[in-house]
Amino acid sequence: MPLKSPDPQTSVLLWHWQAHWSSLLAIAVQLLVLGWYLRAARRVAASGRYWSLYRTGAFVLGLAVVAYAVEGGVAQYDRDNFSAHVVQLLLLVDVAPSLLACGAPIRLALQGSSSRTSARVLRALHSRPARVLTHPLVAFAISGATMYLYFLTPLYRWSESHPVILSYVDLQFLVVGCLLWWVVVARDALPKAPTFGMRFALVFMGIPVNAYLGLAVASVAAPLYPAANSLADTQSGGNVLWGLAEVFIVAALAFLFVDWAREEERKAVRADRQLDAALATARPPVAATAEPSTGGN
């Protein structure tokens, strides 16, 4: 057992990039996705339809977070420092998916593709597997189960001993994060749009789930991976898991509140317009001007 897990160095966190085959493959895929998104957004704009720069910026930033988590300096410590590994996984399961969801890539595919491709996307979107996986409770259960199984079973120790499995874990966290946050953010095309009540409920449900998991890890009596992590580092990672996850939940609640307030404002504006139209229709016509009288001599 190591006396102490290596402390992350600022220079490594900021400037170091991975160069092994899995990282190079990941960056190649990310560049392909980025190229597709930018070309599709340009096609939509060229056709005269509006595509928000906010959506494009959010998607590009989401890909940048994925790149940093998988290929950046924090990935240098994914087997040596448990706290840094927790930060890496939180970037993949919470931060990156929420930004990617704001970019609405499925909606972009529907608007910026040929009619045949759009039809295929619609069929996949409304297929039974898609409807099941994007059900709010199913997405929440898959996300929570992934985190609990990884940290509270031998799966964590196994993945740390096998680099290929560790790379798969990164992909798994990103995918399950996208399933959940696509529903919470609700900016993209979905088989069924969730209500604001359900979206708020999903975020609130994450509070006890993250808290219990973080406390469970912070209370362990032995390191989860004794070959590389100290007990103090493992317990510190549990506190990081709890604390950062709760900070992100607060940010998500703020996002939802602003989104809900804007939606209520739009509803009020529509209601005012409908009322004005109804009053204009019900208003009696203006009385005709009285005809001038013709006087006789």
Two structure tokens written together for 130: 């898609």
Q: What is the pLDDT of residues 27-43, one digit of tens each?
A: 999 999 999 999 999 99
Give the Cα separation of 235 and 220 in Å (integer).
7
Q: What are phi and psi of 286, to 5 degrees?
A: -65, 135
Give the pLDDT score at 8.
85
How many Cβ atoms are within 10 Å of 58's Cβ, its own excluded? 20
Question: Is the per-residue pLDDT at 93 higher than 60?
Answer: yes
* Confidence band for 115, pLDDT divided at 50, 70 and 90: confident
Q: What is the mean pLDDT of the chain?
A: 90
CA 81 – CA 95 distance, rounded (Å):
20
Q: How many CB atoms lie within 10 A of CB 231?
A: 16
Q: Examine the pLDDT at 65 and tell me if it is beyond 70.
A: yes
Question: Each residue of 194-214: b (16+ CB within 10 Å) or e?
Answer: beeeebbbbbeebeebbbebb
**229, HSE (Cβ side, Cα atoms, 13 Å):** 28
Here the tokens at position 217 are: 């890890």
CB under 8 Å to 165, separation ≥6 — which residues?
A: 158, 159
What is the DSSP track for 104-154? Answer: -HHHHHHHHS-HHHHHHHHHHHTSHHHHHHTSHHHHHHHHHHHHHHHHHST
CA nearest neighbour of 151 among 229, 95, 221, 217: 217
Q: Look at residue 270 in the predicted model and tell me its pLDDT.
A: 81
Which one has a higher pLDDT value, 285 or 255?
255
* Three-state DSSP class for residue 284: coil
**Using the 8-state DSSP alphabet, how is residue 226 labeled?**
T
Average pLDDT over every residue of 178-202: 94
Shortest CA distance to 69 belongs to which of 173, 151, 185? 173
Which of the pair, 275 or 103, is modelled with greater confidence? 103
Q: What pLDDT does 1 receive? A: 44
Q: 257 pLDDT exceeds 80?
A: yes
Q: Is pLDDT above 70 for 4?
A: no
Residue 2 scores a pLDDT above 50: no
Residue holding tokens 């410590």? 77
Q: Is pLDDT larger for residue 154 or for residue 291? A: 154
Domain segments of the chain as ranges = 10-278
Percent of the chain with pLDDT over 70: 94
Residue matched to tokens 């939509």: 44
Query: Residue 291 above 90 pLDDT?
Result: no
Give the whole-number percent of the chain exceeding pLDDT 90. Answer: 69
Check residues 209 and 275 and name the one with the higher pLDDT. Answer: 209
Q: What is the mean pLDDT of residues 82-102?
A: 96
Residue whose pair of structure tokens reads 């997405």 in the numeric block: 139
Residue 297 is predicted with a pLDDT of 45
Q: How many CB atoms lie within 10 A of CB 47?
A: 10
21 pLDDT more than 70: yes
CA distance 204 to 249: 8
pLDDT band of residue 285 (cuts 50, 70, 90) is: low
Q: What is the mean pLDDT of residues 236-242?
A: 94
CA atoms within 13 A of residue 22's CA, in its CB half-sphere: 15
